[in-house]
């Protein structure tokens, strides 16, 4: 069992590296001998986390990440706007009439996540893998890269920072990176009762 968990961890890091064009930089990932991986990473992230989603925060975060050209479509994908949104509109105009809502992520064991938008299930998937107690990898759809996220939990507050894979210039890679930011890294999440 220990050997298979070590092999899974090695394959995961290799898959992230390959999906990103050769060498994803998982900042802060420590290399661990297979024998010490047998218990798996700590899982304090498991449970329910909620955040108020704001259109302006998405546009600001995308602009800072160099993804401003993808903000208009992300607003539709996430549910702020019905769409289509004209990408030629300036950043302030993108949020005119945008909805506000709460998102709740319920992280379950073995990579399962249920995402609620207000009270409606927006997504229910096996779509992440924990690497250690501060690195989560968002599993991409076939043909899309896996995106590593660094996370931190401090007194009931969870924050994410997406890690741009090396050589991420293709439309699919940039789209996967943008999706990871839109789903996880728009601000602090607060622990809530399930």
Say if 160 falls within a structural domain.
yes
pLDDT, tens digit (0-9, with 9 covering 90-100), for 20-58: 343 333 333 333 333 333 345 557 999 999 999 999 999
Measured between alpha carbons, how far is 60 from 71 in angstroms, rounded to an integer?
9
pLDDT at 165: 84
Contact 161, 64 (CB under 8 A): no
- Asked if residue 71 is part of any domain, the answer here is no
Q: How many domains does the chain have?
A: 1
Q: Are 187 and 181 in contact (CB under 8 A)?
A: no
pLDDT range class, residue 155, cuts 50, 70, 90: very high
- Domain span including residue 131: 2-29+42-54+100-192
Tokens 């507050």 belong to residue:
157
Any residues with CB less than 8 A from the CB of 46 and at least 6 apart, and which? 107, 108, 109
Rounded CA-CA distance 164/65 in Å is 9
pLDDT in tens, 86-114: 767 777 788 888 888 999 999 999 999 99
CA distance 14 to 78: 30
- Token pair in block for residue 21: 């064009």
* Cα 131 to Cα 81, 143, 182, distances in angstroms: 34, 21, 21
Statement: residue 194 has pLDDT above 80: no
Contact 65, 181 (CB under 8 A): yes
Does residue 120 belong to any structural domain of this protein?
yes
Q: Are the C-beta atoms of 111 and 46 separated by less than 8 Å?
A: no
Question: H or E element: which one contains 18?
Answer: helix 2-19
More confident residue, 173 or 15: 173
Residue 81 maps to a domain: no
User: Which two tokens mark 66?
Assistant: 């160099």
The Cα 26–Cα 28 span in angstroms is: 6
Q: Is 154 within a domain?
A: yes
CB 50 within 8 A of CB 192: yes
pTM for the whole structure = 0.75
**Does 182 reside within a domain?**
yes
Does 36 map to a domain? no
Within-domain flag for 133? yes
Predicted confidence (pLDDT) per residue in 73-90, tens digit: 999 999 898 877 776 777
């Amino acid at each position: 069992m220990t050997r298979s968990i070590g092999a899974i961890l090695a394959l995961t890091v290799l898959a992230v590296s390959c999906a990103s064009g050769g060498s994803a930089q998982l900042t802060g990932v420590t290399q661990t001998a297979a024998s010490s991986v047998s218990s798996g990473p700590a899982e304090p992230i498991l449970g329910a986390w909620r955040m108020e989603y704001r259109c302006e925060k998405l546009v600001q975060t995308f602009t800072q990440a160099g993804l401003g050209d993808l903000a208009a479509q992300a607003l539709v994908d996430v549910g702020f706007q019905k769409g289509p949104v004209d990408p030629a509109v300036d950043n302030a105009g993108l949020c005119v009439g945008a909805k506000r809502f709460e998102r709740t992520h319920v992280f379950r064991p073995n990579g399962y996540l249920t995402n609620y938008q207000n009270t409606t299930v927006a997504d229910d998937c096996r779509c992440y893998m924990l690497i250690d107690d501060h690195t989560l990898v968002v599993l991409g759809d076939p043909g899309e890269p896996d995106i590593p996220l660094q996370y931190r939990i401090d007194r009931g507050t969870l924050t994410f920072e997406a890690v741009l894979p090396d050589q991420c210039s293709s439309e699919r890679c940039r789209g996967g990176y943008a999706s990871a930011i839109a789903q996880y890294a728009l601000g602090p999440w607060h622990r809530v009762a399930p």
